[in-house]
Every structure is written in C-alpha cells, then in structure tokens.
Homo-oligomer: A and B are copies of this chain.
Amino acid sequence: MIHQTRLFVPAITPFKADLSVDTARFVAHCKLLLEDGADGLAPFGTTSEATSMSVAERMSALDALVDAGIPATRLIPGTGCSALPDSIALTRHALAHGVRGTLTLPPFFYKPVSPDGLFASYARLIEAVGSDSLRLYLYHIPQMTGVGITLDLIGRLTTEFPGIVAGLKDSSGNWDNTAAVIAAFPEIETYSASESLLVRNVAAGGAGCISASANVNVAGIMALIRALGTPDEAARLEAVGVIRALFEQVPLIPAIKATVARRLSDPDYAITRPPLMRLDASHDAAILRACALCFGGNTP
C-alpha cells in the first residue's frame, strides 16, 4: 500500500442571514470535524459553495482557520476558479500558509475546452505559483465543470512538472474512471467523492475519500477506515452507505447544511448562498433520520 487511507472533509461554509461568510461558525465547525476524527479538511470545494465566494472571502476564511490553530498541513483548500488570475492568487495564498496541497478545479466556463487549453490552464498556474512546494490535487467533477480531468492531462502534467501533481479527487461517481486513474498513476493520491466507494478505492490503491457527507459522518467513515480488511468492514460500509443514500435523495449541499444545523441546534448553519437554496421543511423527516443515524447513537 503506497498511500495511507485518509478522510478529508470538504467543509461547508456557513453564511449569515445577510449572506456574508459566517467565519465564527465556519471555524467552529471545522474544529469539530477534526475533533470528530477527520484526517484533514478540504475546504472551499463544491460542498463549501466556494465558487459562490469571492477570492477575498476565500482567503479571509482560510486565514481564519489557520489563525484558529488548525494546522495548515491538514488542509487541502480548493483554489480553482474560472479566471486563471484568481486561481493563481488563491493557490499562492494557500501555499504561503503551508497547506498540504490545493484541490484545483479546471476553468469551468468555456466548453468544450481543447486538451491543449486545459493543459495550458494548469501549466500557467504551476508556472505562476513557481514553487517546488506546490502539491496540486486535480479536481474532476465534470457534471459541474463540463471539463473533465483526463488521463492524458495527468500524464502531461506529471511529465512536465515532476512531483507537483500530488493527487486527484474523482467526483464523477464513475468508478471505472477512478480505477483507471489509480492504475495509470498509482503514485498520486486518488480520492473518491463518496465513502460508498471507499473499500474499492483502497483495494485498488487509492488514498481514501473527500466526501460531502463527511460533514455529518466523520465518525462513521473513520470507523469504516479502521475496519478496512477486518470482519467488520462490510457492516461499516453498509452503515455509511445507508446515510449516503439518504443524502442522495435530497438536494445534497442544503441537506448537509441542514443536518449540521440540526446537530448543533443552530439553524443558521442551514443558510446557503444563491444559487443554492436553503432546504425547506418538506425534507425535515429526512434530516431527522440523517441526524439519528449520524449522531443519535444508532450507527452500528
């Protein structure tokens, strides 16, 4: 096994009623996720509504995490924007904090994008950051970006910039793609976006998961990681799968935020920024069930 199995949580970003970033709740929740036992955090991802935040808001929120004593080495912040200067600014800022790496979307407005154009986007970013310390995690989420991270792209980047590409998060939900990335590039850390794929991910040589539902189920997912290869594995996998399946029947990000809000008896955690909408009461039963499964002592 090349890679230790790890869980990074794409932490939600709480907002205030006026839709400004709620830094205090953000820091509190991130600390809680680490206290829950997560290996680290991947803030400013899709679950974090990062593409709905300005560059200044993202920098300020990262500063707040570090200022609060969260070790930068446990952070893989998202830094990919549609505009290259923004991606460069965020990546430099994160690197200056000494983060473990950055999880970086491709530019996501133009589609289709040529292979050369996609390569040039990452190449210019790497060159502009200009640091051997950069550890880039490529973010494959074609259902949002319309632009996928191909095996060819990974190959070109690892050849041109040895040691810089540290990993990939595969949010496509397509296991065959994840398996192909791991098989072709076993030296990089390939993460699945769902804990339901964790057993397959690790068996194939992957590095673990970066999962939205980890915002509410660190304990369950870490229990699965500890159970890998033991007789308890199947039961733990089933348990996280029940919770994951519950969230796949509701608007995922609003439901995760609503579940955090319910856990902490703090409704403001449920606030989203447009275009995402706060979960309405029609989903209350699902959220109650999620809370019972995640925090009610009912997990097996």
Residues of A whose CB lies within 8 Å of any CB of B are: 19, 46, 51-55, 57, 81-86, 89, 106-111, 113-114, 116-118, 120-121, 124, 143-147, 251, 273-277
Contact = CB atoms under 8 A, between A and B. Distances in A.
B57 A274 contact: no
Given A108-B108, A109-B51, A143-B111, A273 B84 contact: yes
Contacts of A85: 53-54, 57
Contacts of A124: 19, 274
A107 B83 CA distance: 14
Contacts of A107: 51-52, 274-275
A184 to B, nearest CB: 23
Contacts of A114: 251, 275, 277
22 contacts: A19-B84, A46-B109, A46-B110, A51-B83, A51-B110, A52-B83, A52-B84, A52-B109, A53-B85, A54-B85, A81-B82, A84-B274, A106-B275, A108-B109, A110-B276, A111-B143, A113-B275, A116-B277, A117-B274, A118-B275, A120-B274, A120-B277
A277 B120 CA distance: 8
A54 B89 CA distance: 10
Nearest first, the 10 closest Cβ-Cβ pairs linking A and B are A117-B275, A51-B109, A120-B274, A121-B274, A113-B275, A54-B85, A51-B82, A117-B277, A107-B275, A121-B275
A272 to B, nearest CB: 8
Nearest to A114: B277
A120 B275 contact: yes
Nearest to A105: B109
A224 B109 CA distance: 32
Contacts of A52: 82-84, 107, 109-110
B54 A86 contact: yes
A236 to B, nearest CB: 31
A117 B274 CA distance: 6
Nearest to A128: B19
A81 B275 CA distance: 12
Contact of A110 (B106, B144, B147): B144
Contact of A275 (B89, B110, B273): B110
A106 B274 CA distance: 10
A143 B277 CA distance: 23
Nearest to A82: B51
A145 B19 CA distance: 23
B275 A144 contact: no
Most chain B beta-carbon neighbours within 10 Å: one of A19, A86, A251: A86
Contacts of A86: 54
A52 B46 CA distance: 19
Nearest to A144: B109
A277 B112 CA distance: 12
Contacts of A145: 109
